[in-house]
A = this chain, B = another copy of it.
Amino acid sequence: MNSSLRVSFVGAGNVAGHMAMAMLRKGLTISNIISLKRQNSVHLADMVGAHSIDHLDDITKNTDIIIVAVKDDSIADIAAKLKTELIVAHTSGTVELPILNSVGKNTGVFYPLQTFSGDTPISFREVPILIEGSNTQTTDILTELAEMISDKVLLHSSEERKRIHLSAVFACNFTNHLLAIAQDLLTCNECSFDLLHPLIKETMRKALAENPHDSQTGPARRGDTDVIDNHRFMLNRHPMYLEIYNLITQSIQETKYDG
């Protein structure tokens, strides 16, 4: 492991912040940080002992790797303005590697498969990092860097990464939306969402300990038509929730379960 690697960040949001902190804890040098929101880059630079810079040209000074941790639709803008033979990697799950082609020969992807909140510390060792590089040396160095902060580093093409990201949308963004619907239905009935916490925790524990396909329960799995009809009746004032109810019920019923 090469803790002499120096890393700079374009972007100072949640991804850059959590990643820079994890690298700092491993003894890496964080060189430069730039952000459209200057106060964000000043704040993060203060925390990790880096320079907060104002001009993108300065990002290449005294550094080995530049990580572009900005919103997906801002990566092309950065790529158009940056020209360097240093390694430049973006952190997106959905943007293809060639978006960085104009930057130089040594480009890559450094995608952490996790959702990051501002203040909540993340154990980065458990976060999978998906790596892609434009050449072997770049891939090797990005892998080495990733392995310093994570126990789960994997090589995947842009196409594979996009498919993994799609599954993550189902598992996380969509499950969260269903929890929000449950919260809304409870609130309509003047109940607190807390009431479901133990059930949600146990459902997730079971899905992770066994596997979600095998641990499916509920009226749709059992084919309990009386209960399903009554649920539909109760949802008559929530047409969108009723549509979701009908579609997921149908999908569960069309799933083949053993036994």
Q: How far is the CA of A201 from the CA of B122 in the complex (A)?
A: 11
Q: A191-B164, A195-B128, A221-B173 are in contact. Are A248 and B254 (CB under 8 A)?
A: no
Q: Is B163 touching A234 in the complex (CB atoms < 8 A)?
A: yes
Residue A160 at the chain B interface, CB threshold 8 Å = yes
Distance A160 CA – B197 CA, assembled complex (angstroms): 18
Nearest Cβ distance between residue A213 and chain B, in whole angstroms?
4
Interface hub of A162, A200, A201 (most chain B Cβ within 10 A)? A200
Q: How far is the CA of A256 from the CA of B191 in the complex (A)?
A: 21
A217 at the interface (CB under 8 A from B): yes
A4-12, A32-40, A239-247 - the one binding chain B? A239-247
Asked whether, in the complex, the Cβ of B182 is within 8 Å of the Cβ of A167, the reply is: yes
Knowing A73-B226, A175-B175, A251-B244, the reply to whether A183 touches B113 (Cβ < 8 A) is no
Residues of B within 8 A of A182 (CB): 167-168, 170-171, 212
Of A42-50, A62-70, A203-211, the one contacting chain B is: A203-211
Q: Is the CB of B128 within 8 A of A180?
A: no
Given A183-B211, A198-B114, A254-B240, answer yes or no on A234-B162 (Cβ-Cβ < 8 Å).
yes
Chain B residues with CB under 8 A of A217: 115, 172-173, 176
Residues of B within 8 A of A181 (CB): 167, 170, 251
Name A125-141 residues within 8 Å CB distance of B.
126-128
Q: CA–CA, A221 to B202, complex, Å? A: 27
A22 at the interface (CB under 8 A from B): no
A213 engages B180 (CB within 8 Å): yes
CB nearest neighbor in B for A163: B189
**Which residues of chain A in 12-37 are interfacial with respect to chain B, using CB atoms and an 8 Å cutoff?**
none
A235 at the interface (CB under 8 A from B): yes
Least Cβ–Cβ distance between A186 and chain B, in angstroms: 5
Q: Which residues of B contact A204 (CB under 8 A)?
A: 175, 200-201, 204
A80 on the B face (CB < 8 A):
no
Beta-carbon contacts under 8 Å, A207-240 to B:
207-209, 211-213, 215-221, 224, 226-227, 230-231, 234-235, 240
- A252 near B203 with CB under 8 A, answer no
User: Which residues of B are found within 8 Å of A170, using beta-carbon distances?
Assistant: 178-179, 181-182, 185, 241, 244-245
Binding site for B on A (CB under 8 A): 72-73, 94, 113-115, 117, 120, 122, 126-128, 152, 154, 160, 162-164, 166-186, 188-189, 191, 193, 195-209, 211-213, 215-221, 224, 226-227, 230-231, 234-235, 240-241, 243-245, 247-248, 250-252, 254-255
